[in-house]
Chain A
């Protein structure tokens, strides 16, 4: 059971209150109609899926119902930071390519 600190609520809550929305910082193409199939498929489906530092999006589904970002180690499951959408992560890994 993860204990996740919601940056909006300002407190750590149990994992069951949250839902996961996958890799963070994926920017939706501004003009999807101009993309070819390869670019659109890459945007929709292809992911970094790193073993180690991962920036990801969470949703505080039964709390404040707002999205935020977290930096988590996918091997130890330790949550290194949570931050508000629009902010930059403080913890990064060269290996994750971010």
Chain B
């Protein structure tokens, strides 16, 4: 792999940028692998990268039915934060945030990570009590955060409406300065390039249609390109996890729901932070291109259609217009949906299964993007050692039978 640098940019400019190296190979699948990662989104690619980088397991294939990073990695609102309430979740998401902080250098690929801060607004007294509690819990876990007043919020995001006259006045917020946004495609592409350089085969446009088992253990996967053998199969298939689990005769505590987002036409810089509100339900940031990126709610019913109901985005835009009256005249450009795999406790599943050699990393629901590096890191460790990484131990699938749930509905950005 040729490293990207200022010098390489200059050198390639001399040949009109026509001689850049292909960013990754497109190999034919081998007959078998040590590990097959099913799903070539951000989490799957990160898993493959850390398997090769940290654990030296390079005989790995990532099998993706579409193109790399074309599912939820390309459909989210790119918000990154780690201000979760419970120790287990906070430590997992903060590992991820720490990895984000060095990711562009680590991957030699600009993931455009921008620590512009995240505000989570409170609109009533109970919101503010919950925010106080969450910020205190965060600080005990070594995660930055403070409770801020409406006046301070106005300084951070001057266009916001802090009037007490509106239906849901802003009473305060939690503020995590280390949070921010990153470029969603770049994360997938950076991990893909890094994994490919370490010898991982990235196999696109190949759908896994079955999981073959032998004597109760995984033997490989059936695909649209034929059978591929593997000692271990790691499934990172987000919204389609239930479908993949059914191939192995398993059920998951997961329901797949459509979650929508939308972007406006590009406008001049006007919002240099991320503003989220659970109570009125909307979240908004401005991309580097200038579009306002707005996240809507999750639909009330199961669906795999990658689209959602209009009344859901209507509701979110009502909230955004109340928070930012100036945005009422901005025109919306595009709207889309992704299929998110929601767990009953709004926390992920990073786990071995009852089938030897079969692992699942799913259930990230409405907030998986921020966790991409950490998720890949602890899942790679879990797969490599056949034993949960210390930070993943609380997120096994068994918690739904033991009752040790980690209730993060309060800190999750989207109610579900």
Given A1-B311, A16-B311, A45-B301 contact (CB < 8 Å): no
Residues of B within 8 A of A45 (CB): 253, 344, 400
CB of A65 closer than 8 Å to a CB of B: no
CB within 8 A of B252: which of A19, A46, A76? Answer: A46
Task: Please give the distance in Å from A93's CB to the nearest CB on chain B.
Answer: 12
CB of B224 closer than 8 Å to a CB of A: no
**Cα of A16 to Cα of B315 in the assembled complex, Å:** 12
Task: Please give the distance in Å from B93's CB to the nearest CB on chain A.
Answer: 22
**Cα of A50 to Cα of B254 in the assembled complex, Å:** 11
Residues of B within 8 A of A20 (CB): 300-302
| Cβ–Cβ contact B403 & A41, under 8 A | yes
Cβ contacts B273-309/A at 8 Å (1 or 0 each): 0000000000000000000000000001111110001
Of residues 389 through 416 on chain B, the ones whose CB sits less than 8 Å from some CB of chain A are 400-403
Cβ contacts A33-50/B at 8 Å (1 or 0 each): 000011011101111111
**Cα of A76 to Cα of B303 in the assembled complex, Å:** 8
| Cβ–Cβ contact B401 & A37, under 8 A | yes
Where the two chains meet, the residues of B that have a C-beta atom closer than 8 Å to any C-beta of A are 240, 242-243, 246, 251-256, 300-305, 309-311, 344, 400-403
Centre residue among A16, A47, A56, A72 by max chain B CB count within 10 A:
A47
**Cα of A15 to Cα of B402 in the assembled complex, Å:** 36
| Cβ–Cβ contact B304 & A51, under 8 A | yes
Given A15-B311, A16-B311, A49-B256, A77-B305 contact (CB < 8 Å): yes
CB of A12 closer than 8 Å to a CB of B: no
Q: A45-B400, A47-B252, A75-B304 are in contact. List 4 more A-B contacts (CB 8 A).
A: A49-B252, A49-B255, A49-B256, A51-B304
| Cβ–Cβ contact A47 & B254, under 8 A | yes
Q: List 28 A-B contacts (CB under 8 A).
A: A1-B311, A15-B300, A15-B311, A16-B311, A20-B300, A20-B302, A22-B255, A37-B401, A41-B253, A41-B401, A41-B402, A42-B251, A45-B253, A45-B344, A46-B252, A46-B253, A46-B400, A47-B242, A48-B246, A49-B243, A49-B255, A50-B246, A51-B242, A51-B243, A51-B256, A51-B304, A56-B302, A74-B303
**Cα of A72 to Cα of B309 in the assembled complex, Å:** 15
Residues of A within 8 A of B243 (CB): 49-51
Residues of A within 8 A of B401 (CB): 37-38, 40-42
Given A20-B300, A54-B302, A2-B251 contact (CB < 8 Å): no
CB within 8 A of B400: which of A16, A41, A51? Answer: A41
